[in-house]
Chains A and B, each alone.
Chain A
Amino acid sequence: MIPILKNWELVLQIAVTDFKLRYQNSVLGFVWTLLEPLLMMTIMWFVFSRVVRVQIPNYQLFLLLGLIMWQFFSRGTSQGLNAVTRRANILSKINIPRRVIVFASCLTNLISFGMDIVVFLAMMIVFGVPFRLHLLVCIPLFLLEFFLIYSVSLVLAPLNLRYRDFGNVWGILLRAGFYMSPILYSMDFVPENLRFWYLCNPVSRLIHATRVWIFPEASSVDHHFWILLVTAVVVYAVGTWLFKRMEPKFGDYL
């Protein structure tokens, strides 16, 4: 974490620049960030509540929360994985701690995620769900998700630099993860003998835990929050170790 703190200004600058760049040539600019999860929610809601007939109270909001949390993870990690390779032209000239680049990429996605959360809160008003104080508990949960994304990126970025296959493999895993996580449905829908395996996926556990807080009526399965914390710390430790080990060789592969 020390190189990140030392280069805090750089981290912010890169993250903000990236955010600006993402919507450079579009008319609606960053409005797209806000529209995307809403459009997704509408489609999913139509399919799963009108066609498949899932019975969950406040299904739209329930779905929206799952979607934006998933999108945060999937975008965050797939961009974190590419963060180093994408900036090869700068990194082959300027020697800065490469972790800074990965962190900044995750931070860009945290900004987008923050916007999505604002949309979510707005939708809560639209659907007439009252704000309760315990919504605040979600903040550490979101930060934990950010930490998890950063940790996973630390593992994937050097691997992807060495073998570009990891980008493809990760894409497939993410697609599988989307259906294998309780995003479209709640944890209660998952057969009891499968729940253990489901919760091995930290993103499942994270989304589940957050929903238990916001929509206690939608799920009754225990989330064991502490396991999540341990998982994230372990991934972070592995990521830091791997990243540090491979960093001196980055120059050869850029």
Chain B
Amino acid sequence: MIAIEAKGVGKKFVIPHRRVRTLIERAENILTLRWGENEEFWALREVSFEVKKGEAVGVIGRNGSGKSTLLRIVSGLLAPTEGSVRVNGRLSPLMSLGTGFQKELTALDNILLYGAYMGVPKKVMAERVPKILSFAELTRFQHTKVKNFSSGMYSRLAFSTAMQVSPEILLLDEVFAVGDTSFRQKCIQVMEKFKAEGITILMVSHSLSNIASFCEKALFLAEGKPRFFGESREAVELYLEYLDEQDQRAKQEQRRKKRESKEAGQEPEPESNRWGTGRAAIRQVRFLDAGGEAKLVVKSGERLTVHITHQSDQGIQRPILGLKIFDQEGDLVYGTDTHELGADPGPMQGRGQTAFVIPSFPVPEGKYFCTMFIKDLDDPEAIHDWIDRGPSFQVMTTTPFEGQVDLSASVDPDPGKVK
């Protein structure tokens, strides 16, 4: 049985150059003949897909690719401009961060009100209240007004409440961004349970590993148009390739602009995250994947090569080249330099290349920033070049895990007796 069927869905937004909210403004626009100044924008175009009952389908794409708009259309909150969506079964509310609660009401009252919005009888909802509160870890705060909640508490309450309204089709918009790691883990467990119960799930998430492991299928949107719909792992791979292409293109664009401004005789803007004597400089940094290709998205667990091109016109006899990798939160993940590794690169003269080869980089998904430097063994005080948290790359995990390091455990179903 088909739970959600979308046929050629398109949504056009009209973006007025000046937002018309009042009649006077509209009249003004008519009088000054600015009627046609509205800009049309298709947030979605020709999107067709089917979700079978009990299936979990992910929607991936960059910000602004129309993911949330699609979810809003499926939930019936927005009417599509063209095409149609058929939904078979009871829809959950569209869950996203900060689902609407009344700030002036207590947690308890809000749960009951929410249940009413969802059409759950008050008696049934009242029975579920203890469960909701304990899941949200908010039992102690049930009589506290929601306005006094922290944003984490608020999201936890919203998520727990919405989970208890027993929908047949669940729509999730970035709910994995809610709460801390342990709460997130709990949410995934609940979703697994839902899936086992045969509830249909349509979800938008930036966590590609969640999509790849949790969903059977995924829809990959680019600029409002579907690029791919099918097996979720394949969709994620394609999406990563697309991201890579896009990033490369953006970089090229940046380089071109830089060159142009140089040719035009303008001084390039001084970089605030860079300093040094200038006797040696890092010219280019590239991240190579296992196949030796320059990538901006690399897979956790695979070989990563940080390829550095440097230049020294005056020459340095005994340089030290260093690398530090930071995560999004700014915590140091790993740092080393050529001296510590016992692999001094030898004198630097003119242009040269050095690469750090990392056999595997088993870290959680996310963006990582590199700090790179050139120091001098003969002059410990001197820093010739230091780029602070400059070049970045994206890490994508194929098997989800909890914690800081992917220890890539495997399961032995028949380990035999312990000797």
Contacts and interface: CB of A to CB of B under 8 A. Distances in A.
A163 B119 contact: no
B116 A94 contact: no
Interface residues of B, number: 32
Contact of B102 (A17, A95, A96, A252): A17
Contacts of B112: 13
Nearest to A10: B116
A248 B118 CA distance: 19
B113 A14 contact: yes
Contacts of A95: 75-77, 91, 93
A90 B104 CA distance: 14
B117 interface: yes
A144 B147 CA distance: 38
Contacts of B116: 9-10, 13-14
Interface in A62-112: 87, 89-96
Interface string B120-136: 01100000000000000
B79 A248 contact: yes
Contact of B121 (A9, A17, A94, A164): A9
B108 to A, nearest CB: 12
Contacts of A91: 77, 100
Interface string B246-266: 000000000000000000000
Contacts of A21: 102, 104-105
B195 interface: no
Contact of B117 (A10, A20, A165): A10
A242 to B, nearest CB: 16
B96 interface: yes
A24 B147 CA distance: 13
A214 to B, nearest CB: 37
B104 A163 contact: no
B409 interface: no
A188 to B, nearest CB: 39
Band of interface residues on A: 20 to 34
Main SS of the interface on chain A?
A: helix
B117 A94 contact: yes
B72 interface: yes
Contacts of A163: 21-23, 26
A7 interface: yes
A171 interface: no
Contact of B77 (A7, A14, A89, A93): A93
A10 B118 CA distance: 8
A249 interface: yes
A93 B99 contact: yes
Interface string A180-200: 000000000000000000000
B78 A252 contact: yes
Given A14-B113, A92-B100, A165-B23, A251 B119 contact: no
For B24, B75, B91, B117, which residue has the most chain A Cβ atoms within 10 angstroms? B117
Interface string A1-21: 000000101100110010011
Given A10-B116, A17-B113, A94-B118, A165 B91 contact: no
B100 A90 contact: yes
B105 A17 contact: yes
Interface string A214-254: 00000000000000000000000000000000001101100
Contacts of A17: 102, 105, 109, 113
B71 to A, nearest CB: 11
A89 to B, nearest CB: 4
B26 to A, nearest CB: 7
Contact of B79 (A9, A14, A24, A249): A249
A94 B98 CA distance: 13
Interface of A: 7, 9-10, 13-14, 17, 20-21, 24, 87, 89-96, 163-165, 248-249, 251-252
